[in-house]
Structure 1
């Protein structure tokens, strides 16, 4: 990178940190800090949802898959798009009546404190792993661009996100998301995509230059497509960082419309980056590491100034996803564990202070895990396997089947989590089997325990809940 591009990137980082300071003045209450006051309209809400869905793993991973498999690489982000659209169409109307900040809080209202606690722990692990994927991505980008060692690059990138997230909470995240969404859209759709196509002589020339298999939307393999469906379609529906952004909307109508719009945007985003990856294959056929396809291609084809803007768009995707995920994890621990079981955390200022301390601790932990794992797609698969396998069944079945008992939901999460972690150790962290076994276990346990619970006991439990 030349001096102009470096200045553009550093200015962008500076703007994000200034926004973090501004967010302090706006985060006056618990609802302001955790949900940005639930005041967002359609356009700002679409930007926030799209920004949290599309992280560095989605951006760099889609380009990598486009490089390796062609147009079929779009399935990766598209399943995320289908998941957020399904959330808007089928789930929003079911959760709109609950006054909650987290998925675990909703499960707690439905099934009791025990289920709230265990689901908070499981979901916090998932969100922490999402942060890890973004910190790994930030470290790789800064390493490639500035030539700094990978580990210090991870620490710097993660540190910037921690700074503005701790200060202003969801208001800082929301304000930065709006900027990041604009930068992502301009950088990918209006600069990187057209420059990549032009560099290979147009779309026709591109498809003539890549292997025939790269033309087919199933080239990636039905097993991989099914894996993405299990991981990301189900995962997005029960993802705490997504839910927390959904609750920032001012109405159910805005929630639904923006979720569907963000889903469509995600599908187009995945398609564009798969084609960018194919362009990278044509121009850089001997690339040693396909994970660097996006940054290597950008360095190859973009003029000074625009290069800095496009690379800022990558950082935007990474940072928006990281900030949302780390804040979601901190909210789960603060709201569903410390606030429930810690007697001293009562008023808004104490909750905000506690949330900032938890966010700092989780941020440090995520940087340590990033240094240990150092593989974006592996970390992302682990995160969504934990979430989809353990939380999807009790949440969705519980919303649609009123007879489900507290014990059924609690034991479902416990059993499926144990199965997932055990099968990870048996089959490895890249296997699809843990999520399948986890889902099946969760469904069998929640249905079995509910059916075996006498109706008389159900009536007693229901009346006790209502009286409490």
Structure 2
């Protein structure tokens, strides 16, 4: 199949999938359906929302990219995503689902007051906003590989796709995308790792051919930074509106807990498959070090049948765009519920869903500016930064709410909630 035919198939698959989302979720009319699926998601639906948002560019292209450079340390993102989902199921799902709120900042506001609700919502939104940038970078690398577009053209294509995904049906759309993503992810990553191992004549041969044995350590890019990234992942996942929104959307507490456990089991293996591909590419294509975001797309293009490659390139784009749309939904929900709903938006006599979609459009349009300013940044660097910011603003008050049952004493701890994001930012700057 020539390049032009591959491009046609790639576009056709994306159009069909986007059309499916728009058609199947055209009846989403209420705010409750858009944001929390009417609190009716099954355990599978909960898991699909979490995986559909958590596993995207950072877990695929970003993991292969980091594995190409540092090896096993690239597993930190998916491994500790799984750890975080396990903690979410064990300790936080009951508190969150029983609260009957729409945003985690709402729950914080009930305990600490409206001002802290808005404060934590802003920081949490900024953290998710930064993670959207990582998805832009990852999806753009695929569009550039398939079509040879420049950065701006690729960015505009990705923008349109993300907006279609998030506007088609909110949290229900995120669950549908997540279900498809699970099958696409495992199909793509298992086949990719199998091809790499076959070409390298097995796992032991791959290990023996590693150019630097330090790449086989989980701390290969520095123990202090690795530990910080592990910590950031756990508290970041436990503080992200979209992942917690999945818990809020569950039918009941038991369902929410099962959905978190299912996510914990499914996410970590994806990272291991990506590491195999990344190390293989480092061994055989050292020249790609100049543009490491292209490593995984290049692998797909080189080692898959062109028809399969087109399908998987489109699938990988869906995986990444699905994550970006879920994050955009989280930011949109935070801004709408915690800040804008009873403020400036109350003056406009249009449907609540239209207001939500408008906020989503503005969030995406403005995030493109950051993409333009940071095109050369490593995808996982953006992701870890975003996790830390979210965690510092949301995890600390959430943990206090879970541990401190005396509400009067809890309110006295408000200064801790105010200071934690500022302390994190100061430490991040000092530690580089």
TM norm structure 1: 0.85
| TM-superposed deviation, 1:358 | 0.8
Match of 2:323 among 298, 321, 324: 321
Please name the residue that 2:207 is paired with: 207
| Secondary structure of the structure 2 residue equivalent to 1:55 | coil
Find the aligned partners of 2:131 and 2:256 in 1 and give their Cα distance. Answer: 23
TM-superposed CA distance for 1:423, in Å, is 5.0
Q: State yes or no: 1:115 paired with 2:113.
A: no
User: Is 2:143 aligned against 1:142?
Assistant: yes
CA drift of 1:8 comes to 3.3
Q: Structure 2: how far apart are the matches of 1:406 and 1:361?
A: 36
Question: Take 1:215 and 1:182, find their aligned partners in 2: how far apart are those partners?
Answer: 28
Closer, same or farther in 2 for the Cα pair 1:181/1:409, shift >3 Å?
Answer: farther
Q: Which protein has the larger Cα radius of gyration, Structure 1 or Structure 2?
A: 1
Q: Supply the distance in 2 between the matched residues of 1:340 and 1:199 (Cα, whole angstroms).
A: 59
What is the SS of the residue equivalent to 1:58?
coil
CA displacement 1:125-154 (0-9 Å, x = unmatched):
112111111112111221122100012101
Q: Are 2:341 and 1:339 equivalent residues in the alignment?
A: yes
Partner residue, 1:74: 75
CA contact (8 A) 1:104 1:117 kept: yes
| Matched residue, 2:264 | 263
TM-superposed CA distance for 1:299, in Å, is 2.0
What is the alpha-carbon distance in structure 2 between the residues aligned to residue 26 and residue 170 of structure 1?
Answer: 13
Distance in 2 separating the partners of 1:133 and 1:323: 12
1:30-429 matched pairs, under 5 angstroms: 30-189=31-190, 191-211=191-211, 212-287=213-288, 288-342=290-344, 344=346, 350-374=351-375, 375=377, 376-403=379-406, 407-408=411-412, 410-424=414-428, 426-427=429-430
Contact kept, 8 Å, 1:339 with 1:346, in 2: the verdict is no
Which range moves more in the overlay, 380-389 or 325-334?
A: 380-389
Aligned partners of 1:123 and 1:240 also within 8 Å: yes
Show CA shifts across 1:111-170 (max 9, x none): 221121111111111121111111121112211221000121011112111123124222
Report the aligned-residue RMSD. Answer: 2.3
Task: Check the 8 A contact 2:129/2:367 in 1, yes or no.
Answer: yes
Contact 2:55 2:323 in 1 (8 A): yes
> By how many angstroms is 1:346 displaced?
10
Query: In structure 1, what is the Cα distance between the partners aligned to 2:373 and 2:49?
Result: 30
Secondary structure at the counterpart of residue 128 of structure 1: helix
Asked whether the equivalents of residues 35 and 247 of structure 1 are also in contact (C-alpha less than 8 Å), the reply is: yes
Q: Cα–Cα, structure 1 residues 122 and 406, in superposed 2: closer, same or farther, change >3 Å? A: farther
Residues 407 and 24 of structure 1: is their aligned pair in 2 closer, same or farther, counting only changes over 3 Å?
same
Compared CA separation, residues 398 and 23, structure 1 to 2 (3 A): same
Task: Decide whether the 8 Å contact of 1:126 with 1:384 is kept in 2.
Answer: yes
How far apart are the structure 1 equivalents of 2:342 and 2:9? Answer: 45
Distance in structure 1 (CA, Å) of the matches to 2:5 and 2:247:
37
Q: Which runs of 5+ in 2 are unaligned?
A: none
Equivalent residue number for residue 464 of structure 1: none
Unmatched segments (≥5 aa) in structure 1:
432-468
Residue 201 of structure 2 aligns to a residue in which SS?
coil
How big is the shift at 1:171? 2.3
CA contact (8 A) 2:58 2:77 kept: no
CA distance in 1, matches of 2:133, 2:119: 22
Matches of 2:51 and 2:388, distance apart in 1:
21
1:403 is displaced (CA, Å) by: 3.0
- The alpha carbon displacement at 1:40 in A equals 2.3
In 1, are the aligned partners of 2:14 and 2:318 still within 8 Å (CA)? no
State the aligned residue count.
426
Distance in 2, Cα, partners of 1:122 & 1:410: 16
| Cα distance in 2, alignment partners of residues 427 and 233 from structure 1 | 21
Does the CA contact (< 8 Å) of 2:55 and 2:319 recur in 1? yes
Q: Is the 8 A contact 2:55 2:267 kept in 1?
A: yes
**Which gives a bigger RCO, structure 1 or 2 (Cα 8 Å, sep 6+)?**
2
- Local SS of the residue matching 1:170: helix
Question: Match for residue 439 of structure 1?
Answer: none
Counterpart position of 1:18: 19
User: 1: CA distance between counterparts of 2:196 and 2:131?
Assistant: 29
**How much does 1:13 deviate?**
1.5
